Structure formats: C-alpha cells, structure tokens
Amino acid sequence: MNLKKDGYGRTELSYAIIDHKIQEALLLLKQDMDVNDSDNGGHSYLFFAAQECEIEVVDALLKLGADPNIETLSGVTPLSAVLFASQKYSVDQAYQIVKLLLAAGANPDHKNRRGVSIRQLSKRLAPGKISSYICSYQ
C-alpha cells in the first residue's frame, strides 16, 4: 500500500516525522508500504527522520529495510542530513543516528554535488565525537 501524496509528493508519514509526531509515525510504519518512497525532491522517510534527529523512527525504518544511501535530487543522503541536524538538535541523538546509519551500510565516502565527502563534511559540521566516529569508520 502506498500512502496518499500531496503536491510535494509527501505523505502523512513524511509530515508525522517532520512534525515530530513519533508515535503516529511508528504506527504508520506498521502499514505495508514502500519504506524507500521519496517526495518530489528525492527526500526519503529515512532522510526526514535523520534530518529531524528521530532515533526511534530511523531505527524502525532501517529494520524495515530502508536504504541509507538514497540521495535527494541535490545529492544529500540521510548521513549528511544528520550532520546538519547535529547543529540544531542534540549531538548525542545525532551520534546515535550516525552509528545506526553506518551499521546499516551508509557510505561515509559519498560525495555531494560539490565533491565533498561525508567524512570531510563531518569535520566542519560535527567536529568531535561524530566526526571522529565517521572518519575512523571502516
């Protein structure tokens, strides 16, 4: 089953994640759906969950088989989204999400449209334990 999309290609699940309605998002994830679906800009549910630093939703999506390497149309992945989120939300939450994404196969060597890898980006956006973890990840 696919959730109904609005003009931006976003669904009720997209907005539940963006609006931090975690219990609603987790309930919607119990429906038979494509967990790798994305909106008109290529933003997947996992991207939104990483961008909003929602650990429970990231974990649930990954357990359901969400691809941690889906890019937006601008070349941003969930792993790079969480680096930006670490500046707005808790560094500890972002760190936990980084660990989940990498364990699920997120590519720390992915390069954005400017040719900057996530490892390089982490040094600027999330210096400290997040950058150290990403840069040392094999």
Least confident of 2-6, 23-27, 51-55: 2-6
Q: In angstroms, what is the C-alpha Rg of the chain?
A: 14
Provide the residue range defining the domain that includes 95: 12-136
Instruction: Look at residue 3 and tell me if it is in a domain.
Output: no
DSSP label at residue 29: T
How many domains, in total, are found in the chain? Answer: 1
Alpha-carbon torsion, ordered 53, 57, 59, 64, to 10 deg:
-140
Instruction: Look at residue 98 and tell me if it is in a domain.
Output: yes
Distance CA 17, CA 81 (A): 14
Q: Which CATH number do you get for residue 45?
A: 1.25.40.20
- The kind and range of the H/E element at 74 are none
Using alpha carbons, select from 103, 51, 101, 97 the residue that is nearest to residue 74. 51
Instruction: Look at residue 6 and tell me if it is in a domain.
Output: no
Instruction: Look at residue 29 and tell me if it is in a domain.
Output: yes
Whole-model pTM? Answer: 0.94
Distance CA 105, CA 90 (A): 23
What integer pLDDT is reported at residue 23 of this predicted model? 98
Residue-averaged pLDDT of the chain: 95
Q: Would you place residue 111 in the very low, low, confident or very high pLDDT band (cuts 50, 70, 90)?
A: very high
What integer pLDDT is reported at residue 2 of this predicted model? 63
Instruction: Look at residue 7 and tell me if it is in a domain.
Output: no
Instruction: Look at residue 5 and tell me if it is in a domain.
Output: no
Residues sharing a CB contact under 8 Å with residue 44, sequence separation 6 or more, in sequence order: 36, 37, 38, 66, 67, 70, 78
Using alpha carbons, select from 74, 128, 66 the residue that is nearest to residue 100. 66
Q: Would you place residue 18 in the very low, low, confident or very high pLDDT band (cuts 50, 70, 90)?
A: very high
pLDDT in tens, 38-95: 999 999 999 999 999 999 999 999 999 999 999 999 999 999 999 999 989 899 999 9
